[in-house]
Amino acid sequence: MNSAGFTECGSSMTPTKEPLYFIVNPAANNGRAQETWTALASWLSSEKIPYRVAFSQDGDDIERLSRLAAAEAGAVVAGVGGDGTLSRIADALVGTEAVLGVIPAGTGNDFARSFRIPVSPSEACAVLLQGLTVPLDVGRMNGRMFLNVVGAGLDAAVVVDANRLFKKFAGSLGYFLSLLKQLIFFQPMEMEIRLDSNVFRTKAWFVTVANARYYGSGMKVAPMADPQDGLADVIVVENLHRLRFLSLFPLVYSGRHVGHSAVKLFRSAQITVVSKKPLFVHADGDLYGTTPLTIVMERHAVRLKVPRDKGTGDLSHFNGLG
């Protein structure tokens, strides 16, 4: 192990064009990220690809390791974990020449889904080696960076239950069970939503602030989100009868909920959400306290590896953007 905390593998092999670092979150997906890494390490060895790897202890350790990796010029720093792992890495890469890489190993892998980054570890690694490097927006929610989606209301309550009550269930099943529970018991809440200089007051099931398009293990919550325009898509599902909400909810998987009279869509670079009573808030699938929350978008703050044969570098016209 070198002084930076990374284990160097294949040092005698031909170096890659860009130094390759992996940060593995062993806790991701209830420990199943370790299986993903084992498969990837075997492939890297068979392909004679040199790399450095470290296993994180917690979120702060992910950021520490990412800063160390980013100190090497042109490094590709790949997270082996879920969306929360990736956002912690990206936070450390802002202002550096390092590039964010994605090896999907979380529960939902929704950030990877938006860019059609393969779930297969070897195919995702091929994107790191051969993919296109593009600029990407990020957001900061109460100072904490996010890459994908922030939510307050029903969706955050689902995250709470998934972590507390249904964590033992594999993959998306825990989210599905917690969703069923909250669809029965959750009550819409009065909110004030400030969008730049505009104020919007409503009673809503949830408000979602999206940089990319998917969350919740495949829900296309923001079907027109552009992660390069410097703006977040803000989706508000207003109060409507529970049975009507239940009939609307399945449409979110295809993005067809947008256009419904109870669904409001805005775009803004600065968003504040205040609720009559505190609501749980999640960012990239992890719980981060309660409302009020303030979000500021940062345009082209990090760089990302995406499949080369799917785009031109302009993600608003990126065929790989799901």
**Cα torsion for 233, 239, 241, 247, to the nearest 10°?**
0
Averaged pLDDT, 250-279: 94
User: For residue 3, what pLDDT is reported?
Assistant: 42
User: For residue 61, what pLDDT is reported?
Assistant: 96
**C-beta of residue 51 within 8 angstroms of C-beta of residue 10:** yes
Which of 75, 26, 39, 91 lies closest to 305 in space, CA to CA? 75
**pTM of the predicted structure, to 2 decimals:** 0.90
**C-beta of residue 198 within 8 angstroms of C-beta of residue 272:** no
From-to residues of CATH 2.60.200.40 in the chain:
144-299
Q: Is the pLDDT of residue 316 over 90?
A: no
Residue 309 token pair: 């044969």
From-to residues of CATH 3.40.50.10330 in the chain:
7-130
**Residue 208 to residue 266: CA distance in whole angstroms:** 10
pLDDT bin (cut points 50, 70, 90) of residue 192 is very high
Q: How many CB atoms lie under 10 A from the CB of residue 8?
A: 12
**Residue 23 to residue 81: CA distance in whole angstroms:** 8
> What's the mean pLDDT when you consider all of the chain?
90
Which CATH number is correct for 7-130, 3.40.50.10330, 3.40.50.170, 3.40.50.150, 1.10.3720.10? 3.40.50.10330
Residue 43 token pair: 């492939």
User: For residue 315, what pLDDT is reported?
Assistant: 57
**Residue 168 to residue 188: CA distance in whole angstroms:** 28
**Residue 185 to residue 187: CA distance in whole angstroms:** 7
Amino acid identity, position 105: A
Burial class (CB in 10 A: 0-12, 13-18, 19+), 32: middle
Q: Is the dihedral of CA 67, 217, 137, 310 positive or negative?
A: positive
Give the 3-state DSSP-derived string for the chain, with helices as H, strands as E and coil as C. CCCCCCEEECCCCCCCCCCEEEEECCCHHHHCHHHHHHHHHHHHHHCCCCEEEEECCCHHHHHHHHHHHHCCCCCEEEEEECHHHHHHHHHHHCCCCCEEEEEECCCCCHHHHHCCCCCCHHHHHHHHHHCEEEEEEEEEECCEEECCEEEEEHHHHHHHHHHHCCCCCCCCHHHHHHHHHHHHHCCCEEEEEEECCEEEEEEEEEEEEECCCCECCCECCCCCCCCCCCCEEEEEEECCCHHHHHHHHHHHHCCCCECECCEEEEEECEEEEEECCCCEEEECCEEEEECCEEEEEEEEEEEEEECHHHCCCCHHHCCCCC
Pairing of strands 99-104, 76-81: parallel
Q: Is the pLDDT of residue 66 over 80?
A: yes
User: For residue 39, what pLDDT is reported?
Assistant: 96
Beta-ladder partners of 79: 23, 102
**Residue 246 to residue 183: CA distance in whole angstroms:** 8
Q: What is the pLDDT of residues 8-58, one digit of tens each?
A: 998 777 778 899 999 999 999 888 899 999 999 999 999 999 999 999 999
Class of domain 144-299: mainly beta
